[in-house]
Structure 1
Amino acid sequence: MNQKQRSDLEATISQALEEMKEEQGSSFSIDKVNLAELGRRTGISRKRLRKIQKDGFVIKDHALKGTHHGSTVLTGYTALIDDMLRKNNRNSNNIMDILVAHGYSGGLTQVKEYVEQHLYLMPAKREIVSPQ
């Protein structure tokens, strides 16, 4: 869920809560909101509303957002890829063919992402300089 979706969801919920507060007056309690009614007004499931209510009606990201696994299918082959990048081979399809020949069983997308993140290993491009 991106920032815009999160803020839209918060705005929808806060608007519905304000409407319910106006209708119920002083008997309104944020802790005892009727989730079924709030769900009808917002179109959000009661399960999701229960979770949001538990967090104080603040929309949070899931706990694993932005984390990476320590070891992947590609982990054993990174030295081979780094070597190919140093030799100026950045074509991920060629790298994939060589990896498969060495026993790699993962996907092309992982190889492409790794190559994209490690382009700094490639030698600098040569520049033609006019004679002096």
Structure 2
Amino acid sequence: MASTEASLKEAMTSIEGTIGIALVDYSSGMALGTLGGGKDLDLNVAAAGNTDVVRAKVRALEHLGLNDEIEDILITLGSQYHLIRLLKGRNSNGLFLYLALDKNRSNLAMARHQLRSIEAGLEV
């Protein structure tokens, strides 16, 4: 099992095209850890904003009466992919990984696969 810091470093180095990554608590909207980002992507602001996205989707599932769970949420921008992966397992309820990718330098299918592997090894 890997720590938050080790998992974020793994994402930054192993997922091609990564701009930034954060581990976020969607009950509070706070980033528990961030790596990358920069002047064009404030990961703390992104964490708070994407918390609203996750909460809205969770509410929508409840209102629809769907007995299912969110695996991930993809937001496609002109030059970036933003991938939100809700964590499953013990001690991870209410957490998600937020990954921002450069659209021209990344492979979305591989990024999803690698993020799933990172999640499996993450110890919160």
Using structure 2 for the length normalisation, give the TM-score: 0.28
Higher relative strand content:
2
Point out which structure has higher relative CO (alpha carbons under 8 A, 6+ apart). Answer: 2
Higher relative helix content:
1
